[in-house]
Amino acid sequence: MQFSKGRVRGGDGSGPSEGHHEARGPASADMPGDVPFDDPWYDALSSGWGEPSTVAAPVPAARQGQDDDVAAAEVYLEVQGSPAFQEVRSRYRRFVVPASVAFFLWYVAYVVAATAAPGFMARPVAGAVNVGLVAGLGQFLSTFLLTWAYARHARLRRDRAALELRWDTQELTRGARGGAA
């Protein structure tokens, strides 16, 4: 299940590239979270993506519509409904929604406490350090920790599945547009 950087740069849009068929399939939706892998996005260019030539298993092939855009729209609807995409989306939301609510409430609580309860914030903790300073530095610390946790979660739990979907979707849209032309 290793991605090679050569594949990213080397694909010419027509021929099948090595290491591709093993890397896809239904298993891509629930790959284990702790598998280390090469970073296939890093230093990949914005253009010149290697285009896979085969249609992916987790995403059903698009019907060929009369109109290019209608066909492409169908592709996006079908990808959206596919289990692989639902899994990526729910992984993203399961992390981002609780984390956003948590840091926002923690920040609002901090601001409200600083304005409404300065006496509490002035309570000494150790030496010159009081509750307010601890809470302020706590905001810095929680920001750094959440940043680290989010980056790790995205790297391990989302990136690879999202990249698979990106290639599949681009191939399907190209197929849909090409088929109608």
Partner 1 sequence: MTGNHQTLALVLFSAFIAVTLGITTWVSRDRHGSAEEFYAGGRLFSPMENGFAIAGDYMSAASFLGISGLIALFGYDGLLYSVGFLVAWLVVLFLVAELVRNCGRFTLADVVAARMSERPVRIAAGTSSVTVSVLYLVAQMVGAGSLVALLLGRTSAAAQCWTVVGVGALMVIYVSLGGMRATTWIQIVKAVLLLGGTVALTALVLVRFHGDFDRLLLTAAERSGHGNAFLAPGLKYGGDWTARFDFISLGLALVLGTAGLPHILSRFYTVPTARAARRSVVWSIGLIGGFYLMTIVLGFGAAAIVGPQAVRASNAAGNTAVPLLALDLGGGSDSTGGTVLFAVVAAVAFATILAVVAGITLASSASVAHDLYASLRRRRAEPRSEVAVARAAAVGIGVVAIALGLLARDLNVAFLVGLAFAVAASANLPVLLYSLFWRGFTTRGAVYAVYGGLVPALVLVVLSPVVSGSPESLFPGVDFQYFPLQNPGLVSIPLGFLAGWLGTVTSAEVADEAKHAETEVRSLTGAGAV
Give the shortest CB-49-to-partner 1 separation in angstroms.
10
**Residue 136 interacts with partner 1 (CB under 8 A)?**
yes
Verify binding: residue 139, partner 1, rule CB under 8 A.
Answer: yes
Shortest separation between residue 59's beta carbon and partner 1, angstroms: 10
Query: How many whole angstroms separate alpha carbon 114 and alpha carbon 108?
Result: 10
Could you say which of 33, 83, 118, 179 contacts partner 1 (CB under 8 A)?
Answer: 118
Select 126 or 181, whichever has its Cβ closest to partner 1.
126
DSSP conformation letters of 104-129: HHHHHHHHHHHHH-HHHHT-EEETTE
- Least distance between partner 1 and beta carbon 159 (Å): 6
3-state secondary structure of 130: strand
User: Shortest CA distance to 132 belongs to which of 143, 147, 146, 116?
Assistant: 116
Please report how close the Cβ of residue 34 comes to partner 1 at its closest, in angstroms: 18
Residue 40: both structure tokens together? 């296939």
DSSP state of 66: S
Name the segment binding partner 1 (CB under 8 A); options: 14-22, 26-34, 60-68, 73-81. Answer: 73-81
